[in-house]
Amino acid sequence: MPAVTLIASFPDFKRAIAQQKLTVVDWYAVWCGPCKAIAPRYDALAAKYPAAAFYKINVDDLPDVARQCSVSSMPTFHLYKASKLLATVVGANPSELERKIQQHIAPAAFEGTGRVLGSAPKSPTSPGSPTSPTVSSPTASTAASAGPATASAPTATAPAASGTSTSQSTLVWIAFLFLVVYWWMGQKNRVGSLDEYAGL
């Protein structure tokens, strides 16, 4: 199929613009100077954008079709997709024509039965993300609550242990002193008994 196809009948025109891909139609006349000037550029665009379909219609061959499509100046370029007119460029303006082609051909490049771009499934780690704080939060809370309790335990028991040790030491000293006094009294009584015995 050539890069640019000539449409010679109304049924051909209806079939051409009914395509799902972008269809560009060049309405021209053989006596039109600007039409002849832009023709090479139009052929170049057809070769540059193979994803689109490019056609030419001679308005003198199909005047009723041109009139039905409101074509009154040449050249006129119509961009169709699925029988819907998307854009119109009037005059030999190749840069504007290419801009319109780029604007409307881009969505077609991503059409198909596959997954739409940007709709990739979520990462396997995504479902776990919301639960991570749920799991770690109680742990952190437990650790935070356990920390002060653990730290305060020695503080609470330290004075009790110190007081017990002090009272035990005091009792030991009192008992020791009592024993010393008791021993001393026993010795004194013993010496007195010996003196009495010696006096006899």
Could you list the active site residues?
A: 32, 35
Whole-number Å distance between alpha carbons of 81 and 84: 5
- What is the C-alpha radius of gyration for the chain, rounded to an integer number of angstroms? 54
Whole-number Å distance between alpha carbons of 24 and 38: 14
**Taking the mean position of all CA atoms in its chain, how far away is CA 57?**
49
| DSSP annotation of 18 | T
For residue 36, the tally of other CB atoms under 10 A from its CB is 14
Three-point CA angle 51, 19, 91, nearest 5°: 70
Q: Which amino acid, one-letter code, is at 87?
A: A
Whole-number Å distance between alpha carbons of 48 and 19: 19
Q: Which amino acid, one-letter code, is at 140?
A: A
